[in-house]
Structure 1
Amino acid sequence: MQETAATAPQTGRPALILASSSRYRRELLERLRIPFDTAVPAIDETPQPGETPEATALRLAEVKARAVAAALPVGTGRALVIGSDQVATFDGHQIGKPGTHERALDQLRAMRGREVLFHSALSLLDTATGQTDTVDVVTKVRFRDLPDAALDAYLRAEQPYDCAGSAKSEGLGIALLEAIESDDPTALIGLPLIALTRMLLAAGYPLLAPQEAQP
């Protein structure tokens, strides 16, 4: 595991582990100003036959959390493991990460002037009980009807080839969007922080505890 916070968890705080290799999720979790580690879950992320986008996202979020929890060393104290997965769907089909400029341009061409649903699933596993709290946060995104030249210029400027939907709403990609509808503005970026903070507080994590005085 890689520790991404400046200090180890304070006494009485369970360890917090983000089961993800995504830099976007790591950057979002850093907004909460709490110590956490990251671990990459070794799982197969292929959708199962006949599986809905929502079911895929929910299943993979929990599988990621359980895979990382199962790999913790024997004797590890209580930990809260965060699993998350996002599946975009358009015309009933799942949209993956484009990987290349050409595929990203094809995605944006198909989606212009249309609505895309993003299922951002979140699962918090408590190793003390083995129980998970799992939720799917849905974001509706309507893309602007822009010409090929504008779509190509955007892709060359931001190169969002590791993003499902081929646009970064937190960056220049916002210019491609007509509207975003969601209960959680961070869900579209990859980690629903409103849902996560609710889960952490329900698990007894001292998210808003007073800071210890420095000597």
Structure 2
Amino acid sequence: MPTDSRSSSATSSRPLPVRIRAWDGSQAGPTDAPLVTPLTGGATSPDLVASVRYRLRGWNGHRADPVQDTRQALKELRHVAGPLPVVLVGHSMGARAALRAADDPQVRGVVALAPWCPPGEPTEHLADRMIMALHDEADRITSATDTWNYLTRARAAGARVRGVRMHRGRHAMIRDARLWHRLTTTSAAAVLGLTSPPCSARYAETAWSADPMDASDITLPGH
């Protein structure tokens, strides 16, 4: 499990922004930076997807280096592509970084996969955000109980939250990977208002709750 005392090893001394590929095929940004490419649509429907590569290993205490990298990527995206609504998707420490960076005005919400949410992790900045968290309670690296407690605090802070209890996959999410992927994409689309959030007949009254629903109860669109 990543810890605040973990040592860092630099791969670059500068913030690592993103490289943007425009609709006409032109590109802007450093050649070694993560690439943002069109997901769907065209110039009138600019849906983009990108990944962020961290400059340093580990969380590194109060510096919270992954959060700085995430904020830098959001800044570069805003500079190149304009003010787009954003959903952040992160796994483990990456989910913690995404949740910390969710106060960015572009961010609509976060899809957190097996997130690292230690007790006391701040949630006050999540008001009006949508937070979806998927976690297998057999995960031995990060704690699903901590995740459900985090969602309870986030809801009290004014976020719309939903936890999904995965029955396989543990931390690496390899088993049932197809289901993890489908729930992740559906959740991300829901944050952007493109579809309804994952729900089931058992939770038909509300799609938003701090109580986790079982992944096996969820009916996805088209199924």
Question: Is TM-score (shorter-chain normalized) higher than 0.5?
Answer: no
TM-score, normalization by structure 2: 0.31
TM-score, normalization by structure 1: 0.32
Larger radius of gyration: 1
